[in-house]
Amino acid sequence: MHTGSVLALAQIPRGVSSQALLKMDWEYPVYQAPDEARGTGTAPVAMRRALSRDEALRFIAGNDPRPLLVLRECQVCNKTDDALLKGGPDNDRTLVLSRWFHCVKLPVDVIDPSHPFNALFPNNDSEHLFVALATGDSKVALESEGSRTDLWAGMGQVLELAYDKNPAGSYADVLKRIDKLDLLDFKITEVEARKGLEMESARPDRKKVDAMDSEIAGLKAQITAEKAAIDKAIALVPKSRSAGAPADAPKKSVR
């Protein structure tokens, strides 16, 4: 059941179209340090070292102007990732709002002092998740002990600063369209089931089959239109940030 949704009474399950939209789009940055020579006559090797906080933030932000949502994985707990960012009907708001963030997940060993991004999470007492502007300013630290309301408030606070128009205001419209995708997917499934029964009959009615094919095509066209409307609502451009990634930043790779 989708909380707060017009589809809640109908209990229509999430369809393939909406499931593709309601998930975290994580990036897993890997810092590739410049090669450093070990000595005369030896081949250069990449030396692991911790970056400064500003360097780490510029690197993970890259050329993406969206505000940051940064999570560190934890080996001994199921904190923020499971409690606050897990998909499901009670967390649709989080997943929709995340579309306006650059979502970054860092590995368990980020708390190691030699890890390139250690300055963002210095030790195991550090929060597991934070949201901030692309520059790292206006950081809001979050934990699983907080409620979803706290998470939404923090995300909304940063979105308000990052965009000329707070995209959080578009949440209700986006979710309404996502719910409509579920209804359209459900209708397609029903029509395809009726078509299957007709095709398996002793004498399939060609006109009925053609009519159902036409109905399915119309429903798929509606899905395409709804997806385009959602993409338009999500494709907002953040305000320009004062500083971007340095020109000589090492190449960024994603695992």
Which tens digits make up the pLDDT trace of 32-91?
877 654 555 555 555 778 999 999 999 999 999 999 999 999 877 655 455 566 656 668
Site of tokens 């450093």: 36
pLDDT in tens, 144-180: 666 788 899 999 999 999 999 888 888 889 999 999 9
Share of the chain above pLDDT 90, in %: 60
pTM across the whole model:
0.80
At position 87, the amino acid (one-letter code) is G
3-state SS, residue 112: coil
> Do 61 and 245 contact (CB within 8 A), yes or no?
yes
CA-to-CA separations, 131 to 57, 120, 213, 239, in angstroms, rounded: 12, 12, 46, 16
Strand duo 129-132 + 140-142: pairing: antiparallel
Beta strands in the chain (DSSP E): 26-27, 29-31, 35-36, 45-46, 68-72, 102-106, 129-132, 140-142, 252-254
According to the CATH classification, is domain 16-165+237-254 in 3.40.30?
A: yes
Q: What is the pLDDT of residues 186-234, one digit of tens each?
A: 999 999 999 999 999 999 999 999 999 999 999 999 999 999 999 998 8
CATH of domain 171-234: 1.20.120
pLDDT of residue 52: 96
The pLDDT value given to residue 166: 86
What are the domain boundaries of the chain? 16-165+237-254, 171-234
Q: What is the pLDDT of residue 242?
A: 47
What SS3 state is found at 103? strand
Q: pLDDT at residue 244 above 70?
A: no
